[in-house]
Amino acid sequence: MNSNPRVWPPELSSTLQDDLRKWCFLWQVSELLPEISVSISRRMTSSLGRASYRRKHVGLQHTLLDPSAAELLREVLCHEVAHLAAYELHGTTIRPHGREWRALLIAAGYPARATIEAATLPTCFGVRTTRRRRRVRHSPWKAIARWIRG
């Protein structure tokens, strides 16, 4: 099995490419590997990754390239490729985070979770876990009117 993904960004290590090969072999979808393309996006801000079955494409958030997020990058790549594998094995009528997808992630050794809590993200994501209350600014004239009314 010497095939590689169709598009592989230079920012991603060859170790991740080996992991991708290993997962495809484990899930018995090795024929999918040469069709997969992976890209890094600076525009992706609301999710860590996204998979498109029609294009056989995985998009990853650029923040995952930070060295402190190396293990998270591996998990997100596995998560997204598991979507492609689940659709390849079971068709497109399955639920995106359904039992078929969960079984693939568990087989790869990752927790089958659809979301990651902000508190567990590495600091490179700059996520605030506490909300700051916004101070409401009042017009000085309203303050004077309140003072006059008593």
CATH of domain 14-149: 3.30.2010.10
pLDDT (0 to 100) of residue 98? 95
What's this model's pTM, rounded to 2 decimal places? 0.80
Tell me the per-residue pLDDT of 28-83, one tens digit each, with 9 for 90 and over. 999 999 999 999 999 988 889 999 999 999 999 999 998 988 999 999 999 999 99
pLDDT (0 to 100) of residue 52? 95
Asked if 105 contacts 51 with a C-beta cutoff of 8 angstroms, the reply is no
Task: Give the tokens for residue 25.
Answer: 């072999």
**Confidence label for 1 from pLDDT (cuts 50, 70 and 90):** very low
b/e sequence 52-83, b meaning 16+ C-beta within 10 Å = eeeebbbbbbebbeeeebeebbbbbbbbbbbb
Share of the chain above pLDDT 90, in %: 63
